Amino acid sequence: MEHLINSKVKNIEISGIRKFFNMVAGTKDMISLTLGQPDFPTPEHVKEAGKKAIDENFTTYTHNAGYIELRTAAAQFVQTKYDLSYNPNDEIIITSGASEAIDITFRTILEEGVEVILPGPVYPGYEPIIKLCGARPVYADTRENNFRMTADIINNYITDKTRCIVLPYPSNPTGVSLTKEELSAIAELLKDKEIFVLADEIYSELVFDHKHFSIGTILKEKTIVINGLSKSHSMTGWRIGMLFAPSSITEHILKVHQYNVSCASSVSQMAALEALTAGINDAVEMKQSYMERREYVFERLTTMDLSVVKPDGAFYFFVKLPEPFTNSFDFALQLVRERGVAVVPGSAFSPLGEGYIRISFAYSMDVLTEALNRLEAFLKDHQS
């Protein structure tokens, strides 16, 4: 029966991040720096809110868009943090993680033959959904611009088929963000064009050196802002995302969401309500730890003479392969076999990621220290 499977599904692959992680997961005494998952537990008060929700029988379907109390809290959160203004009644949808928000957005705005511009290298979760919609991903090469997708670069890739531009910032895998000035230039470029912007801002609470700025504040009518609690509140398993857009857009996205999952988990929504209100600043302490780790990892990598752009946010370094290595998958596999350290091959992040590896620093200092000691020993073993 396999020959009857949807050809678009047959032609996509499992995420290169997960594929490599699963391949090496059984390696003895391995240290993994692969997954983008906070090493902090979900805050205690948020967990208690989830338990209370179960005890008080908040275990039924909610409004398709989510509890109005949660949507109101989400509106207040992004207004306070980023000066974004959205009506909780019809401009916000609570989703089953930011991944579902991306999925239902693309399925709402894309159709056969249109194009989506993405920064390259980029998180691998966009391309398969774009292709499932019959659209074509177009990778804008950001490698010579320190991985920053600016208006000048975007303009080189716009055609009459361009339907959407994806702006993920801070970026996975590079950790690079965009400034208010850069985003204003992008908004100016797009203001008279019929092109959507998908602003994936899941790491917005983990911006280190400047305040996060959302393009939704200056290009609201064309922008779908996606956020969530996985990274900011260490709630990856709770699966709560948030989608913000004008009502003329959300009324259609909501239809896809309804037939996809009906609604996000009611218990998780109550935990999310606690996170966005009493826990509005829960990410501050985590961010401080990530900043300390960033400084440590950056110092170690540069001491090893590795070429790397210092990240503005998130918790990743995207590191250029040193000579004589050229293939990122082979490098990563050899590093596991010889020194027991797992990193993600850059090829997992589009063809423009080849020649790099991604290192996550969402791990304790002890783990990072030992992993980097092993990486340094590995590189010394292979010095030409």
pLDDT, one tens digit per residue, over 122-139 is 999 999 999 999 999 999
Q: Which of 357, 314, 326 is nearest to 20 (CA)?
A: 357
Contacts of 201 (CB under 8 A, 6+ apart): 168, 169, 212, 214, 225, 226, 227
Q: Where are the domains of the chain?
A: 2-42+282-381, 57-276
User: Helix 266-276 to helix 68-82 angle, to the nearest 10 degrees?
Assistant: 30
- CA atoms 245, 73, 180, 182: torsion sign: negative
pLDDT of 258: 97
The Cα–Cα gap between 303 and 372 comes to: 11
Contact, 329 vs 347, CB < 8 A?
yes
Tokens of 174: 């590079």
pLDDT of 340: 95
In the predicted model, residues of the chain with pLDDT beneath 50 are: none
CATH class of 2-42+282-381: alpha beta
Q: Which of 351, 133, 127, 84 is nearest to 242 (CA)?
A: 84
* pLDDT mean across residues, the chain: 95
- CA atoms 167, 110, 231, 18: torsion sign: negative
pLDDT of 28: 78
pLDDT of 13: 78
Q: Residue 349 corresponds to which amino acid?
A: F
Q: Which residues pair with 320 in a beta bridge?
A: 356
Tokens of 7: 């050809």
pLDDT of 123: 96
pLDDT of 271: 98
pLDDT of 94: 98
pLDDT of 27: 73
The Cα–Cα gap between 311 and 294 comes to: 8
Region 57-276: CATH code: 3.40.640.10
Inter-CA distances, 372 with 297, 314, 379, Å: 8, 19, 10
Alpha-carbon dihedral 159, 16, 109, 161, rounded to 10 degrees: 10
The Cα–Cα gap between 38 and 241 comes to: 16
Burial label, 290 (beta-carbon count in 10 A; 0-12, 13-18, 19+): buried
Question: How many C-beta atoms surround the C-beta of residue 8 within 10 A?
Answer: 12
